[in-house]
Every structure is written in C-alpha cells, then in structure tokens.
Amino acid sequence: MPDDFEAPLLALQKRIEELAAFPGDPVKEQEARRLRQELSEKRRSIYAGLTPWQKTQVARHPNRPYTLDYVGALFTDFTELHGDRRFGDDPALVTGFARYKDRAVAVVGHQKGRDTKQKIYRNFGMPKPEGYRKALRIMQLAAKFGRPIISFVDTPGAYPGLDAEERGQAEAIAYNLREMARLPTPIIVNVTGEGGSGGALAVAVGDRVNMLEHSIYSVITPEGCAAILWRDAGRAEEAATAMKITAPDLKGFGLVDEIVPEPLGGAHADPDTLFASLDRILEAQLKELSALPADTLVDGRYEKFRRMGKLGTEFIEAP
C-alpha cells in the first residue's frame, strides 16, 4: 500500500499516465510536461524532509530492491548454495558465490519476496536458525579460500516462532556474531532496507558497514518499541524519532561507515542509479580492505565493534 506522504505524488503520476493516452495532442503533451515538472519538484521537497517514521515506510516499500536484485545488477556467475547441513534450507537468507568485477566473492543476504506466494516462501525475510547456520557455512567456506564476503541486510528481525526457538534461534545468532568477528577475509555489510535487531546483526559483523540513505537499523521495530514502552504500538512514529534509527543518526554515532545516496523518490524509484552508487562504494572499499593482512582485518573489526558499546563521558559523569 502507498504511504500517506506519497499520496500527492501518486495522484500526479496517475494524471500523467492518463495524459499519455493521448499522444500527438499538443495541449495534453504540454500539460503532461508541466505535471512532470511539478511531480519532480514535489518529490524533491517531500524526500528532503522525511521524518524517521516516513523513512521507515520507505525502507519497507514493497518495490525496494532485495538481495537477488543486487545480485543481478552487481555480480556475475552467481551460484546459489543451499542448506545448513544440519536441518534444512532457509529461503529467507540467500547465499552463494559469484564474481564481482572478475573477483570471486561470497554473497549473503535477506530476501523478502514480492507477491503473497513469495513472501510466504521467504517467510517475509525473517530467517530461522538454519538460515543463519547456512550463511555462516558459506562465509566460513569463503574465508577458507580467501574470498571477500558481501552481505545485504533487509529484515524485520529473526523469526520468533516456536519452531525457530526449538532449533536454537538465539544460539545460532550468537554463534554467527562470534564467528564473523574472526573470519580472516574482508566483510562488507550493506543495510538496504530494514536492519532489524539480531536478525540483521547475525550477518552484519563487517569491516565496513554501509546504509542506504532511506534505510533503518535498530534493535527493535518502532512498533515493538512503542508496544513495550507505552503499551501502544500506535505510537510507533514517536518511537521511530526517539530511537535514532536513520542512516545520518547512526553514522553520527559511528555505527555505520558510509551512507549510500538513493535516487530521488527512494531506491525503488530508480534502482539502476542506486546500483551505480553502491557499486562505486563497494569497489573502493573492497580495494582498500583487500590490501590489508588478515590479522589486521580481524583486529580492526574487533575494535570497531568494541567501540560501539562505549559511552561518552557526558552520559556517565556523576552529578
């Protein structure tokens, strides 16, 4: 469903499409040109002042690119690998090997699905323990052969169902955190939509962490936060503002390294422009990280995440 703040844009777009049904009519073509200009200006105005809650809605947009879209745009020779060799496969996490600019890499990422059938098959991008164990199996294999790992994060969180808990959801996430921290190969993480809690972090311990301009990254959803704090999920907008979940906030805190600019209207409005922006950042980061010795990578990654728990003195000074 369209977001309320995009309603004026959708109305203009609909009118432009209606006018396109009359090719050759100079009056209608002139009106269409005027409306396209108005649409561009209004979109620029709206997206320049998005609130954290509105950015949450953009991050969840159903047409936003998912992992397999990035794979198709940025990589070649992708071979998907399945299964954790313990229980089964988890379609909510896509894993495999590919080539990035003629270099062999491993790719890991959440996949939500587009239509109802795909969403159910992908479990709405919420992995179960076998998904995280599959991802770690592929990442360990990549490290063994010196292949960099590129991760795409877009999930509301790990699946909280009974079957996932029975198979050790918390243990699978915790194990991934420990093991990713010491993999002797470059790891680049990209938060492309929702970065939800441990479900995201389990594939997000990297040497570089990038966030798309309108993505979010948090320990819980705004709705979940509001339900816990105020017993009212309807206060999600207020929670989103208080939680500081946007890319500029998190870069300011030192939790992410790079903000990937999105095209006007969000990633879903012009995916090719987004892919080109991310491509430039990935290429530069991969070149930088590949020049570092393995022990330097691991030590730097450890220090990077240790710093995330450090509070400034302004928060801990005695009164």
Residues 293 and 308 in one domain: yes
- Percent of the chain clearing pLDDT 90 (strictly above): 77
Sequence-separated contacts (24+) of 277-285 with Cβ below 8 Å: 278/70, 278/74, 278/190, 278/210, 278/212, 279/74, 281/210, 282/74, 282/100, 282/150, 282/188, 282/190, 283/101, 285/188, 285/208, 285/210, 285/258
Flag whether 104 is in a domain.
Answer: yes
What domain count does the chain have? 2
Flag whether 297 is in a domain.
Answer: yes
Flag whether 251 is in a domain.
Answer: yes
134 neighbors 202 (Cβ within 8 angstroms) = no
139 neighbors 108 (Cβ within 8 angstroms) = yes
Residues 187 and 285 in one domain: yes
Residues 60 and 44 in one domain: no
| Predicted pLDDT at 311 | 57
- Tell me: pLDDT of 121 over 70: yes
Flag whether 150 is in a domain.
Answer: yes
CATH number at residue 303: 3.90.226.10
Q: Which residues of 94-119 are buried (b: 16+ CB within 10 A; e: fewer)?
A: bbbbbebeeeebbbbbbbbbeeeeee
pLDDT tens digits for range 241-273: 999 999 999 999 999 999 999 998 899 989 999
- Percent of the chain clearing pLDDT 70 (strictly above): 96
Residues 95 and 239 in one domain: yes
- Tell me: pLDDT of 319 over 60: no
Residues 119 and 20 in one domain: no
Residues 183 and 105 in one domain: yes
Q: Which is more confident, 231 or 25?
A: 231
| Predicted pLDDT at 21 | 77
Q: Which is more confident, 32 or 162?
A: 162
**Which pair of tokens denotes residue 209?**
């962490």
Q: Which is more confident, 94 or 36?
A: 94
Residues 96 and 38 in one domain: no
| Predicted pLDDT at 2 | 45
Flag whether 319 is in a domain.
Answer: no
Question: Where residue 310 falls among pLDDT bands split at 50, 70, 90?
Answer: low
What is the extent of the structural domain holding 12?
4-49
| Predicted pLDDT at 153 | 98
Q: How far apart (Å, rounded) are the C-alpha atoms in residues 76 and 183?
A: 24
DSSP string for 135-174: HHHHHHHHHHTT--EEEEEEES-S--SHHHHHTTHHHHHH
- Tell me: pLDDT of 312 over 70: no
Q: Share the mean pLDDT of the chain.
A: 91
Least confident of 10-19, 148-157, 213-222: 10-19
Model pTM above 0.85: yes
- Tell me: pLDDT of 1 over 50: no
Cβ atoms within 10 Å of 148's Cβ, excluding its own: 22
Residues 134 and 12 in one domain: no
136 neighbors 108 (Cβ within 8 angstroms) = no
Flag whether 60 is in a domain.
Answer: yes
- Tell me: pLDDT of 234 over 80: yes
Which strand (E) or helix (H) includes residue 194? strand 187-196
